[in-house]
Amino acid sequence: MSGQPVKLSDFGLDEKFGYMQHVDPVTTLPPGNEAWDEMGKNLPKHLMGSDFRQRVKDLPPFRIDTLKTDGEIRRAFLVLSYIGQAYQWSDNEPAHVLPERLAKPWYEVGKLVGRPPILSYTTYSIDNWYRLDKNGPIECGNIALLQCFLGGQDEEWFIIIHIDIENKAGKALKAIEDSQKAVAASDLNLLEKALTNLRDSLKAMYDVLDRMPEKCDPYVYFHRVRPYIFGWKNNPALPNGVVYEGVEEYKGVGQKFRGETGAQSAIIPALDGVLGIEHERDELRDYLMEMRQYMPPQHVKFIEAAENGPSVRNFVMSSNNDKLKKLFNESVELVADFRALHLEYAGTYIHSQAQKTPGNPSAVGTGGTPFMVYLRKHRDETRNQPVS
């Protein structure tokens, strides 16, 4: 494509925060929803109590009218999503109906953030942290979660790794903007600088992902972290989806939403876009496109703008500049490496863990897909697309 170069500020993004909020997430709901806030903050304790589902039904009505800022709305969606997933997976049998007390505000706040009423990646990671040292960096070692299901080192670390990667992706997003700007201006020096920054940012993201095994054990992840993030699409335990009681728009019909998955992060799709990495038109590609329904709308618009901007791939291929080609291919290779490491973790953390419970199948990802097949295909398609 040869559209306009993408510009971060047009989508509420910047180099420092990437896709994250430009201020630290709100840590408490405004007055009026104290009981919901308390349940969210103490969710591990409530899940240890008896009859969790009844506790949710006994909560006072959720007051959406108290939410005045974007931060408060995101905080509300975080609390509702965690309580909602906990309601669903806290018992041996999944819930086929979510009570109106929970379902209605979850749906309404979902409309405000532009996403379906289910826990998705942005809520799970991007909106779910605070700094231990307020003046310190947003990275492993200085961030903790606002919200957990069961708590503990493995759950914290699993999500914190993703938050650190999201923060480091800010430089990659800026490099996407700069590289397209350079192509539009035929500026080889600017392009070399932009591609260098893109490569370095990708390396920094890879190095963070590489730290996952430090504090997240595969057994604990599979049995304690993963069960709570499943969705209700392609889930054998919920063949008819889940009914959201009191949500008129759904007309009493069971809804089928995907579970939280890293495929809902907007980082890799934007990188695929700027690097011109194509995925074969098949079921897998359809799934990747479907994941955009679970991203903030502005993130999706940024991906589309990156895909439709000046083609960095075509410019580099026709440049006869070996240095540019080398830098470009290093970025393509790093995206492939990132996908390969993700595939390796999927094998270690999920596939090799014995299938113990029907709600936690080892052959299907939390997004409801045959993930080993998909991830391997992603990796191979990426590896096969250097420029020459």
Residue 283 pLDDT class (50, 70, 90 cuts)? confident
CATH at residue 340: 1.20.58.480
What pLDDT shows up at residue 369? Answer: 54
Average pLDDT, the chain: 93
Residue 1 lies in a domain: no
Percent of the chain scoring above 70 in pLDDT: 94
Q: Which of 179-188, 238-247, 377-386 has the lowest mean pLDDT?
A: 377-386
State pTM to two decimals: 0.94
Tell me the Ramachandran region of residue 276: left when phi exceeds 0, alpha when psi lies from -120 to 50, beta otherwise: left
**Domain of residue 119, residue span:** 8-383
Q: Which of 90, 84, 93, 92 is nearest to 62 (CA)?
A: 84
Percent of the chain scoring above 90 in pLDDT: 83
Distance CA 31, CA 19 (A): 28
Tell me the Ramachandran region of residue 255: left when phi exceeds 0, alpha when psi lies from -120 to 50, beta otherwise: beta
Whether the CB-CB separation of 72 and 26 falls below 8 Å is answered with yes
What pLDDT shows up at residue 101? Answer: 98
What pLDDT shows up at residue 371? Answer: 63
Find the DSSP H helices in 91-152: 100-113, 121
What pLDDT shows up at residue 279? Answer: 84
Segment 193-212 mean pLDDT: 98
What pLDDT shows up at residue 130? Answer: 98
- Which helix (H) or strand (E) segment holds residue 131: the answer is strand 130-131
Segment 280-295 mean pLDDT: 88
Q: Which of 212, 227, 98 is nearest to 150 (CA)?
A: 227
Q: How many domains does the chain have?
A: 1
What pLDDT shows up at residue 1? Answer: 46
Between residues 378 and 115, which one has the greater pLDDT? 115
Residue 370 pLDDT class (50, 70, 90 cuts)? low
Residue whose tokens read 């006994």: 58
State both tokens at 129.
Answer: 């942290």
Whether the CB-CB separation of 121 and 260 falls below 8 Å is answered with yes
Q: Is 64 a residue whose pLDDT tops 80?
A: yes
What pLDDT shows up at residue 300? Answer: 98
Whether the CB-CB separation of 346 and 210 falls below 8 Å is answered with no
What pLDDT shows up at residue 367? Answer: 52
Segment 290-295 mean pLDDT: 96
Q: Is 46 a residue whose pLDDT tops 80?
A: yes
Residue whose tokens read 């993030």: 229
Per-residue pLDDT reduced to its tens digit, 94-116: 999 999 999 999 999 999 999 99
Count the Cβ atoms, other than its own, within 10 Å of residue 221.
20
To the nearest 10 degrees (0 to 180), the angle between helices 297-308 and 267-275 is 10
Per-residue pLDDT reduced to its tens digit, 154-167: 999 999 999 999 99
Residue 388 lies in a domain: no
Q: 311-332 as b/e, with b when 16 or more CB fall inside 10 Å?
A: bbbebbeebeeeebbebbbbbb
What pLDDT shows up at residue 375? Answer: 75
Q: Which of 260, 311, 269 is nearest to 289 (CA)?
A: 269
Distance CA 278, CA 339 (A): 14
Contacts of 361 (CB under 8 A, 6+ apart): 236, 355
Residue 3 lies in a domain: no
What pLDDT shows up at residue 44? Answer: 98
Per-residue pLDDT reduced to its tens digit, 339-368: 989 888 877 887 677 554 445 455 555 555
What pLDDT shows up at residue 368? Answer: 54
